[in-house]
A = this chain, B = another copy of it.
């Protein structure tokens, strides 16, 4: 078992910043990108934070991510804009698009930014938290390379196309960050390394049976879409929408490029402060959560949490104790 160490968030962010500048990021961009990786780690999404950082710099090195690229506006239809990501850093482009969708929604009530030729945005939830804490509702999604079979199929022609839905809640937010596969490959690997079975079926084994064995699924690559035919259909529609709205690349075209880059993403923000019922909204949301929390748990193990509730705990724990990192992962990072 690798030893887990605790790194204070400030130290982690400084380290990320140092490395990104070494990899060609200008100071401001290095700071912003380091901040996103650090926040994702602080909030417990290590797979798209500290554990992904080295791979991110590798993509920069390979030329798939251009640290100097700025998003450029290709077309405006008013509240709907198309941008070109220039193969820039996904987290920076996605932050830009979130902010631009917010600006458009402040002007028009609702705003939509679609961006093509961008890169992996890391954690969908980051953009949801950002918009919601600024007082806006956000719906956003990305396509990916082909990593999931359609329902009833053997081979991967769909992306897991993560999606985020977010609304403000008290001084925090309710943020659903959800990919279209039932389990991420990272999760399957965590279970495999821990020698554990999945709690529910996550895909198919070589005999074509649904299984909870992570190794068998990793072998066939037949991961299960969430909700079987439902997640399969959602994935397809999200790909079509991100491709046509952005004028960018589809899952198929991204896959044909070999490594996952040049993604298409959509960001829709709504300015709820512009609505006639704006003063009633905080109570409306609190009442829904109050009722939701009043659900009877099926067992003592079950706690009925709203999406994003766990983030608050991770943020608090990791702020106090430092961010947990495998020592080998951290050693690799500081050697960059």
State the oligomeric state as a number of copies.
Answer: 2
Q: Whole-angstrom distance between the alpha carbons of A110 and B245 in the complex? A: 11
Within 8 Å CB of A244, what residues of B?
Answer: 137, 167, 272, 275, 277, 281, 284-285
In Å, the complex CA distance between A277 and B111 comes to 19
- A234–B231 Cα distance when bound, in Å, is 12
Nearest-neighbour CB distance to chain B for A165, whole angstroms, equals 4
A304 within 8 A of B: yes
Number of interface residues of A (CB under 8 A): 85
Classify the interface of chain A: helix, strand, loop or mixed.
Answer: mixed
Chain B residues with CB under 8 Å of A299's CB are 152, 208
Q: In the assembly, what is the distance between CA of A59 and CA of B272, in Å?
A: 33
Q: In the complex, what's the smallest C-beta–C-beta distance from A289 to chain B, in angstroms?
A: 8
* A153-B298, A271-B77, A298-B152 as given contacts; A284 in contact with B250, CB under 8 Å: yes
Q: Is A1 in the interface zone, CB < 8 Å from B?
A: no
In the bound complex, residues from chain B placing their C-beta under 8 Å from that of A275 are 75, 77, 80, 82, 244-245, 247
List of B residues within 8 angstroms of A303 by Cβ: 152
Of B174, B250, B277, the residue contacting A82 (CB under 8 A) is: B277
Tell me the minimal C-beta distance from A85 to chain B in angstroms: 15
- Residues on B with C-beta less than 8 A from A272 are 244-245
Q: Which residues in window 182-241 of A have CB below 8 A to B?
A: 182, 200, 204, 208, 210, 226-228, 230-231, 233-234, 236-241
Chain B residues with Cβ under 8 A from A250's Cβ? 284, 287-288, 291
Contact B268 A247 (CB under 8 A): no
Encode A241-278 as 1/0 by CB contact (under 8 A) with B. 10111010011100000000000000010111011110
27 contacts between A and B (CB under 8 A): A74-B276, A77-B108, A80-B105, A80-B110, A80-B271, A108-B108, A137-B241, A150-B304, A151-B304, A152-B299, A153-B302, A165-B241, A176-B234, A178-B230, A182-B227, A226-B226, A226-B228, A226-B231, A236-B288, A240-B284, A244-B281, A247-B275, A247-B276, A247-B280, A250-B288, A251-B291, A252-B287
Shortest beta-carbon contacts, A-B, top 10: A80-B109, A77-B109, A226-B227, A75-B276, A247-B277, A152-B302, A153-B295, A77-B274, A227-B227, A165-B237
Given contacts A109-B112, A251-B288, 9 further A-B contacts (CB under 8 A): A75-B276, A79-B110, A152-B297, A176-B233, A178-B227, A182-B227, A182-B228, A247-B277, A247-B280
